[in-house]
């Protein structure tokens, strides 16, 4: 859930991320973030950016923005190759 408590991120098989309205559960957007299954999804500490980590050994930083039609999203605003759980250091490396 993001800092404001307004959005909930869900991810998993197929490398797909889904953003929901945290209050109503309504799907706001859905996009392909990775080539393989996503094993971690977290909002950055301020809640404005979203990090995803995948079994494809990448961590990507996204700027979710306003709700967009399902299946659309811009390119990630940052990317790094990592292994293991996301840490505060991962956020710092991406400039968050």
Q: Round to whole Å and give the CA distance between 29 and 42.
A: 16
pLDDT digits (tens, 9 = 90+) for 52-96: 888 888 888 888 765 444 444 555 665 666 555 656 666 666 655
| CA trace torsion 34, 64, 23, 16 (10° rounding) | -10
The continuous run of DSSP H or E covering 19 comes out as: strand 16-21
* pTM of the complete model: 0.69
For 6, 77, 80, 95, the CA distances from 11, given in Å and listed in that order, are 17, 18, 18, 23
Tokens 């859905």 identify what position? 30
Could you read off the pLDDT of 20-34 as tens digits, one per residue? 988 899 998 888 888
């Amino acid at each position: 859930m993001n800092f404001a408590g307004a959005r909930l991120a869900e991810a998993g098989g197929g490398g797909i991320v889904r953003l929901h309205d945290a209050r109503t559960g309504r799907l706001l957007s859905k996009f392909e973030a990775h080539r393989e299954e996503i094993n971690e999804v977290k909002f950055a500490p301020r809640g404005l950016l979203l990090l995803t980590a995948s079994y494809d050994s990448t961590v990507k930083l996204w700027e979710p923005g306003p709700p967009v039609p399902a299946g659309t999203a811009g390119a990630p605003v940052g990317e790094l190759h990592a292994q293991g759980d996301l840490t505060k250091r991962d956020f710092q490396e991406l400039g968050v």
